[in-house]
Structure 1
Amino acid sequence: MRSFLAFIFVLLLTGAAALYASAFIVHQNEQALVLRFGEPVGVITKPGLNWKVPVVDTVDIFEKRVLDLDASPQEVTALDQKRLVVDSFVRYRITNPLEFYKTLRFEGAVPSRLGPIVESAVRGILGGVNFSDIVRDKREELMQRIAKQVNAQAAPLGIEVVDVRIKRADLPEQNATRVFERMRAEREREAAEFRSQGTAEANRIRATADREVTVLKADATRKGEELRGTGDAERNRIFAEAYGRDTDFFGFYRSMQAYEQAIKAGDSKLILSPDSPFFKYFNDPSGLAPKP
């Protein structure tokens, strides 16, 4: 009886061990490749509990998440023969575990295969454009072209390239100072040209304004002279008309104006003979000359 119970216990224990060895779990961020005697027999991409043949089957687990790979910095010569050091990185995911296993076997082999593909694409595409396009004008477009080319070459590896980015694009150390000095000289030349254009435009505007002021002043002077002449003519006409109507009063009025102008300052000195006609209204209100 005891032997039978021991046999049952061993049998249950063996079954539990076999059951444990047959089960494996694929998590949400994983995918699995089942190998039988080292040969692929199944791909599992959905999470959950799965089964395998104990001892005979093995399971390789691969990441389903997006992974990063830093490419080695490399020197690139642009189309305009300017050199720069480019440091880039690539983001990728394993989309075909079977092809990935056949070509790379394990994730640690990715840098040695994908790295040269990225470096070649970066060197080829950036070498076909000018320096300014790389660092400023067309950088986003160039990154898309590089990612497309890398993705096409990485597809046979079971890899999908999500993105390729340039972390740093600097001038080689020996060229940086010379290029910076040339760029500074170009900017200073452009600034001097802009200042020269501004000065020329300011002088033109100032000359135009001065010319317009001169014309306006001349017109104002001419109009003033015309108005003054018209006023003088009208005044003379009125004086002549008044003189013709009452010569005695007109003479008296003109003499009063002369007296006012002569003594209005308060300290005027007049050296005249007492019987001068200028004082005729002082001697006689009627304006008659004194008798000798």
Structure 2
Amino acid sequence: MKNLIVGILAVLVLLFVFGASPLYVVDVTQSAIVVELGKPVRTVTVPGLYVKTPFIQDVTYFDKRLLDYDSAPQDVITQDKKTLVIDNFAKWRITDPLKVYQAFQSQAGALRRLDDIIYSELRVEVGRHDLSEIVSQTRSDIMHIVTERANEKASAYGIAIDDVRIKRADLPEQNEKNVFARMQAERERQAKQYRAEGDEEAQKIRSEAERDREIILAEAYKAAEQLRGGGDAEAFRIYANAYRQDPKFFELTRYMEAYKKSLAKDTSVILSLDSEFLRLFKQP
């Protein structure tokens, strides 16, 4: 009996050494499919330690948890024939590991099929909308529809898709350059329009200011002429009154003012003796 036990232990050790252990462990986060000669014979969903037949049976594991799917950016054509580079992601689960194994033999194969399903539905739905709608209006509606249709197709393979989202939607590099050039041209056009409107408004303001200036100058000149005329009239009136009161004294005053203005310092004047200008000097 002791020899039998030793023999069994020796066989188990050899199996472990050669990678053919009869034991396998199913984690709480996993499901397992036991495959015998390429054919699935048992599905294990309860965590624990299990036994399989070495060299004949093999175990394939599938994750029970909610999984992330992050695709590579791919080109999609919109309804208005614009190209978008869309980077999307999804949340998915394996609901039936047996169906997944029968269809893809591994979780990696299921992920590749999932990529095809989501991209196909995304391309179809984006192709029904214009670029402006996708960017600003209907993105959430598009994602809801893509999630529902992709989940319907994936359910046939034992996969549930909980959510699909667009992480980023960009224009191709060449389109970005063209859009930037159009935006730059549009901004330059607007700048020219604003400058032209500003020049027009400035010219209007300058014209109004020049007109106001001319009006103010004209009114000032008119007022000055009126004041000057009034002053001259008052002076003539004063002169006339003074002349009427004493004509000879007035005449003497006028001659003295004339002498003062004409005979300034260091001034030489040549006049004849009978000049009217010297009349006062000849009188006694």
The bucket for the TM-score relative to the shorter chain is 0.5 to 0.7
Amino acid at match of 2:172: D
Q: Distance in 1 between matches of 2:250 and 2:125?
A: 105
Instruction: For residue 238 of structure 1, report the CA deviation from its aligned partner.
Output: 4.9
Contact 1:87–1:169 (Cα < 8 Å) also in 2: yes
Amino acid at match of 1:33: S
Match of 1:286 in 2: none
1:50 to 48, 67, 81: 48
Instruction: For residue 58 of structure 1, report the CA deviation from its aligned partner.
Output: 3.6
Contact 1:22–1:54 (Cα < 8 Å) also in 2: yes
Deviations 1:165-218 (A, max 9, x none): 4565328x8xx7xx94x9958965774575256325523431342233223322
Contact 2:32–2:60 (Cα < 8 Å) also in 1: yes
Q: Distance in 2 between matches of 1:268 and 1:207?
A: 57
Unaligned runs of 5+ in 1: 284-289
SS at 2:79's partner residue?
coil
Match of 1:240 in 2: 237
1:147 to 143, 148, 163: 143
Contact 1:33–1:98 (Cα < 8 Å) also in 2: no
Query: Could you state the TM-score of these two structures normalised by the residue count of structure 1?
Result: 0.62
| Mapping of residues 7-26 of structure 1, within 5 Å | 7-10=4-7, 21-24=22-25, 26=27
Q: Distance in 1 between matches of 2:183 and 2:5?
A: 92
Amino acid at match of 2:161: I
Contact 2:146–2:164 (Cα < 8 Å) also in 1: no
Q: 1:126 to 1:94 in 2, by over 3 A?
A: closer
Contact 1:154–1:160 (Cα < 8 Å) also in 2: no
Q: 1:162 to 1:74 in 2, by over 3 A?
A: closer
Root-mean-square deviation over aligned CA pairs:
4.6
Asked if 1:220 is matched to 2:222, the reply is no
2:165 to 163, 166, 176: 163
Deviations 1:255-287 (A, max 9, x none): 5554565567x8988675454444456x3xxxx
Match of 1:101 in 2: 100
Contact 2:144–2:164 (Cα < 8 Å) also in 1: no
Instruction: For residue 222 of structure 1, report the CA deviation from its aligned partner.
Output: 1.9
Contact 2:118–2:146 (Cα < 8 Å) also in 1: yes
SS at 2:31's partner residue?
strand
Instruction: For residue 235 of structure 1, report the CA deviation from its aligned partner.
Output: 5.1
Q: 1:280 to 1:207 in 2, by over 3 A?
A: farther
Match of 1:122 in 2: 122
Amino acid at match of 1:115: D
Deviations 1:209-237 (A, max 9, x none): 22332233223332333234224413542
Q: Distance in 1 between matches of 2:128 and 2:269?
A: 102
| Mapping of residues 1-292 of structure 1, within 5 Å | 4-10=1-7, 21-24=22-25, 26=27, 31-35=29-33, 38=40, 41-43=43-45, 50-55=48-53, 58-62=59-63, 64=65, 65-70=67-72, 73-74=74-75, 76=77, 78-80=78-80, 82-84=81-83, 86-98=84-96, 101=100, 104-110=104-110, 112-131=112-131, 133=132, 138-139=134-135, 143-155=139-151, 156=155, 157-166=159-168, 168-170=170-172, 180=178, 188=185, 191-192=188-189, 195-196=192-193, 198-234=195-231, 236-238=233-235, 240-241=237-238, 244-245=241-242, 247=246, 251=251, 254-255=254-255, 257-259=257-259, 262=262, 273-280=272-279, 283=281, 290-291=282-283
Q: Distance in 2 between matches of 1:199 and 1:261?
A: 61
Q: 1:198 to 1:120 in 2, by over 3 A?
A: same
SS at 1:129's partner residue?
coil
Q: 1:202 to 1:152 in 2, by over 3 A?
A: same
Number of residues paired by the alignment?
Answer: 259
The percent identity for this pair of structures is 13
